[in-house]
Amino acid sequence: MAMSPQREPALVVHHSKEGLEEADCLPWFSYQISLPSELPPAASRPRMRTSRLLIRPFVPEDAAALHKLRSDAELQKHSIARGRPDESLEHTQHQIECLQEPHDDSHWYFGAFLADTGELIGEGGLPDIDGRTTRSGWPEADFLIAREHQRQGYGTELFDAVMSSWWNLPRERRRRQLHPFVVPGKQPGERMPDCVVLAHESANEVGAAFYEKMVGAEAVALRGTFEDYDMREGKERLLTSFSGMTMTNPVMFVDPDEEGSDE
C-alpha cells in the first residue's frame, strides 16, 4: 500500500431537516469501495502501545472499569453512538458481550489504558463498521477520554493508533450501499476509497476542535452540518443539529487485479 496523492478540496454541504426528509426519498446506490477484506477476531486484534497508553480490545473482565467510564453522564452525552450513560453494570456487561465473537465482525473498537497503571481512561473506534445505524452508510467514529484526563494528549494517541490500524488493514474492492448526499458528484458503481464519518453535535465545540486537529485538510472529502431526528436510545425523535466531516483513507488502495489503479 502507498500513501494517497493529494485529493481535491473538501465539498461543503448543509442539510436542514426538511432537506433530509426529501433526501430520504432518494434510493441508496452501490459504489465500488476499497474495504477491509476480513477482520481478525477480537481476541486477535492488535494491542497497540503509544508513549503512554496500551490500546486493546475490551474483554469481559473490563466491565467494572468501563462502567465507571460509561456512568459519567457529562462525558457520555457526547457519544455519537450512545448519547447517555449506561443504566447499570449489567448494561455495560452486555455492551462488552456485543464486542466479542461472534459479533466482532461489525466493529473496530478499543479501550485506552494507562500503560503504567492499567487504568481505563478512554474508549474509541468504529462501533458499527457496516454503517447500519448511520445516516450515510459510512461507519461513524466515536472517541471519548475520561474528563479528568482530557487536554493531556491522550485523545490524540488513541485516535492516531486506532485509525492507523483501521486504514492499514488488508483491503479488497467491494460494493457498498451509500446515501447519495454523502458522495455528491459520484455516479452509482463508481470506484471510491473508503471513508469514515467524524460527527458530533453542533454544540460540542470541544469535539469539533479535536477532529479538526486530528484530520489534515487533504484527508477531508466532505464537511458540513445536518439537522435530523436523533436515533440514539433515550433521545429518539429529538431534533438535533450535527456537524462533522468524512475522512478519506490516507492509504491508497492498489487492487492487484487492476494494474495502474488510481482512486
Nearest to 61 by CA among 12, 14, 97: 97
User: What pLDDT sits at residue 125?
Assistant: 98
What is the average pLDDT score of the chain? 87
Nearest to 194 by CA among 33, 37, 6, 36: 33
> Does residue 260 fall inside a structural domain?
no
Residues 14-34, mean pLDDT to the nearest whole number: 69
More confident residue, 223 or 9: 223
Q: Which residues contact 190 (CB under 8 A, 6 or more apart)?
A: 31, 32
Tell whether 26 is covered by a domain. Answer: yes
- Choose between 245 and 234: higher pLDDT: 245
Model pLDDT for residues 50-108, shown as the tens digit of each residue: 999 999 999 999 999 999 999 999 999 999 889 899 999 999 999 999 999 999 999 99
Residue 259 within any structural domain of the chain: no
What value does the mean pLDDT take over residues 210-229?
A: 85
pLDDT tens by residue, 148-207: 999 999 999 999 999 999 999 999 999 999 988 788 788 999 998 999 999 998 888 999
- Structure-block grid coordinates of residue 91: 448494561
10 Å Cβ neighbour count for 163?
23
In a domain, 197, yes or no: yes
pLDDT interval class at 252 (50, 70, 90): confident
Given pLDDT bands bounded at 50, 70 and 90, which one contains residue 25?
low
DSSP annotation of 39: P
Short-list 122, 135, 84, CA closest to 246 = 135
Domain range enclosing 75: 2-252
Provide the pLDDT for residue 123.
Answer: 98
In a domain, residue 262? The reply is no
Residue 5 banded pLDDT, cuts 50, 70, 90: very low
* 30 domain residue, yes or no: yes
Question: C-alpha grid cell for residue 7?
Answer: 485529493
* pLDDT for 26: 63
Domain for residue 101, yes or no? yes
Distance from C-alpha of 178 to C-alpha of 187, rounded to nearest angstrom: 11
Give the orientation angle of helix 89-97 with respect to helix 63-70, to 10 degrees.
Answer: 120
CATH number, domain of 117, equals: 3.40.630.30
Within a domain: 133 = yes
The number of domains in the chain is 1
Which is more confidently placed, 115 or 262?
Answer: 115
Q: Is the pLDDT of residue 135 over 80?
A: no
Structure-block grid coordinates of residue 240: 438535533
Q: How far apart are CA 248 and CA 253, in angstroms?
A: 12
